[in-house]
Structure formats: structure tokens, C-alpha cells
Amino acid sequence: MVDYRKGPHTVYDIKYHLVWVTKYRYKVLKGDVALRVRDLVRKICERNDVRIIRGHVSQDHVHLFVSAPPQLSVSKLMQYIKGKSSRRLQEEYPSLGKRYWGRHLWARGYFCATSGTVTDEMIEAYLDQHSETPEDTFTVADGAQ
């Protein structure tokens, strides 16, 4: 059965698979930086009533499978996530400034697919392949720690 979410005047089930990469695909999402990315993304999503169903932080990209409210566009969600996380990460980790002197941590653009084009199970199975502990719904890659 579909787990419908409810808003003041809506009942919805809107899910997106989102992927974005670091600029130049530099493998900078390691250790504390990777954990901080996960933390920031969780906080930004929570603030915008976006539920993270599954996620994965790799060394040079991030996967998210989320349920979002209808009033929040995908482009606005990605603007929040990429903008706020980039700014905070570069403030907190000066070493990133040496790699990204132009103040852009993330590459332009992102990938987005609704779960209607691919089933939820297919996306979750794909993300489970990245994870050694399927009970944790938002993981960090082994090489990234």
C-alpha cells in the first residue's frame, strides 16, 4: 500500500531520486566532510518537510531518494541543498577552499527522476548496493570515511 502524506489541503505521494556531483568530480567527500554533508542534507530536508527515504554520500557525488511536498519544486529543493551545504562546508573546512577557490563546491546541475518512471524498489535496491548496512537509510561510502 502507498504511504500517502497529508498537507493542509493535499494528500500526496511525490518521490524523487536526486543525484549531484562535486565540481570537477573531485573526491573530497571523505571522513568528517562526508559525515557533515549527510548532516547538513538531513537538516535542510527536515526544515523543508522533505523526508529522506534513502541516501548515500560517495566520495564525489550524493544520491537521495526523497518524498517532497507538492509546494516545493525540485529546483528549489536542490537550490537549498547545494547552496546551503556548499557555503557551510567551505566555512567549516578551509581545506576545501584550496580546491574550490571559486566558492562552488558542487557542479552545475543535478539528476532527478520521479519514482513513477522507476519503481521505488528498484531505486532502493540500487542504493542498497552502495550500502553494507541496509538498516541505515542514509550511508557514507567506505572509502569516504
Of the residues 26, 80, 93, 126, only one is catalytic, namely: 126
The predicted structure's pLDDT at residue 120: 81
Whether 133 has a pLDDT exceeding 70, the answer reads no
In the annotation, is 24 catalytic?
A: no
> 51-57 and 138-140: which strand pairing?
parallel
The predicted structure's pLDDT at residue 142: 74
The predicted structure's pLDDT at residue 115: 84
Q: Which residues are CB-contacts of 24 (< 8 A; sequence separation ≥ 6)?
A: 107
**CATH entry, 5-139, from 4.10.95.10, 3.40.50.12780, 3.30.70.1290, 3.40.50.970:** 3.30.70.1290
